[in-house]
């Protein structure tokens, strides 16, 4: 038994018609914690648990923290999540639903993370949101499931924050012998840290995150994410916040699933089909996100 579930892989009629080609959806939004993060985080937590960890610590007020909280509850390991004051009441509420102890500390993620690091003692395991090989190995299982279903896509579309999802998907493509399947790596303007790293040839730190897609808001990508761009076929794509938000609304209408703008960024490519022109069979990773509300998405769209 793993902590994550095997998710449905469906052919989307509405998105295929919109894109003028066949679009397949890997529905990671249906993971019990609400996003793909549970694959990698669940794997990391199981490994730490097997090594004797008695307490999990996270500094993510988003989907990574939620995945740690879920994993800890399932494994019977207490979880502390340190989040900055900017964290939404909704996110804190979701963490508490999973029985995590939530500590609100600092005005930025950097400060919350520093406090979390200071809490670590013997028997504690810190679970990083994206930069850890254990996470990538866990995320890779989503590609194993696609291969087991007998589908080899012409391209994979996914969104990129710190690049953990990207690193895991590329690991999954490689371990299934799919070295020739390109990845379309989507970021929103204002959170395009992979795009900046590719342009510079090394990871760079963005001065600020200005996108509403907060789950993509890593100022600097993991080294491994840039390595993926350099040793696997990859196209870096950028999308406006508005296009990501519109994709959330349209996807809710088309598939009755509400996702965060971070996921809308990848979905936006289905609704902007010129970006997929070279491919016939496209796999979209519907990464999900539990912190979205329809009211918030509509407010952002109206702003």
Ligand X SMILES: *Cc1c(COP(=O)(O)O)cnc(C)c1O
Smaller CB separation from ligand X, 21 or 64: 64
Out of 25, 112, 160, 196, name the contact with ligand X by CB under 6 A: 160
Binding mask 167-206 for ligand X (x = CB under 6 A): ----------------------------------------
Contact with ligand X (CB under 6 A) among 42, 61, 106, 163? 163
Q: How many CA atoms lie within 13 A of 89 on its CB side?
A: 1
Examine residue 42 and tell whether it contacts ligand X (CB under 6 A). Answer: no
Helix, strand, coil content of the chain in percent (nearest 5): 45, 15, 40
- Give the count of beta carbons closer than 10 Å to the beta carbon of residue 86: 14
Which two tokens mark 284? Answer: 């979209």
Backbone angles phi, psi at 138, to 5 degrees: -70, -45
Angstrom distance (rounded) from CA 300 to CA 292: 11
Token pair 């810190």: residue: 126
Beta pairing, strands 9-11 & 55-58: unpaired
Cβ proximity to ligand X: between 142 and 160 the closer is 160
Q: Minimum distance between the CB of residue 177 and ligand X, rounded to whole angstroms?
A: 23
The residue from 37, 39, 195, 250 that contacts ligand X (CB under 6 A) is 37
- Element containing residue 11 per DSSP (H, E): strand 9-11
Fill in the per-residue mask, 49 to 78: x = in contact with ligand X (CB under 6 A), - = not in contact. -------------xx---------------
- What residues does 124 pair with on adjacent strands? 55
**Contact stretch for ligand X (CB under 6 A) within 104-112, 140-148, 249-257, 258-266:** 258-266
Q: Which residues bind ligand X (CB under 6 A)?
A: 35, 37, 62-63, 130, 159-166, 215-216, 218, 260, 262-263, 287-289
């Amino acid at each position: 038994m793993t902590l994550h579930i095997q998710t449905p892989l469906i052919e989307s009629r509405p998105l295929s018609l919109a894109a003028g080609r066949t679009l397949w959806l890997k529905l990671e939004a249906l993971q019990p914690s609400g996003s793909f993060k549970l694959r990698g985080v669940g794997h990391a937590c199981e490994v730490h648990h097997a090594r004797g960890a008695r307490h999990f610590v996270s500094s993510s007020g988003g989907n990574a923290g939620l995945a740690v909280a879920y994993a800890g509850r399932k494994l019977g390991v207490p979880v502390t999540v340190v989040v900055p004051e900017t964290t939404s009441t909704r996110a804190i509420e979701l963490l508490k639903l999973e029985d995590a102890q939530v500590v609100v500390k600092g005005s930025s993620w950097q400060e919350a993370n520093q406090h979390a690091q200071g809490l670590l003692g013997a028997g504690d395991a810190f679970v990083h949101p994206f930069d850890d090989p254990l996470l990538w190995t866990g995320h890779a299982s989503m590609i194993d499931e696609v291969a087991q279903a007998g589908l080899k896509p012409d391209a994979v579309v996914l969104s990129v924050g710190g690049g953990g999802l990207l690193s895991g998907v590329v690991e999954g493509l490689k371990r299934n012998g799919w070295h020739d399947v390109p990845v379309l790596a989507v970021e929103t303007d204002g959170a395009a840290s992979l795009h900046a790293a590719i342009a510079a040839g090394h990871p760079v730190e963005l001065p600020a995150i200005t996108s509403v897609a907060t789950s993509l808001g890593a100022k600097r990508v993991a080294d491994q994410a840039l390595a993926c761009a350099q040793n696997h076929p990859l196209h870096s794509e950028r999308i406006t916040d508005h296009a990501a938000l519109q994709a959330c609304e349209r996807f809710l209408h088309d598939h009755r699933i509400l996702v965060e703008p971070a996921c809308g960024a990848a979905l936006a490519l289905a609704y902007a089909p010129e970006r997929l022109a070279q491919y016939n069979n496209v796999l979209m990773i519907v990464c999900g996100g539990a912190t979205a509300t329809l009211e918030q998405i509509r407010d952002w769209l109206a702003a």
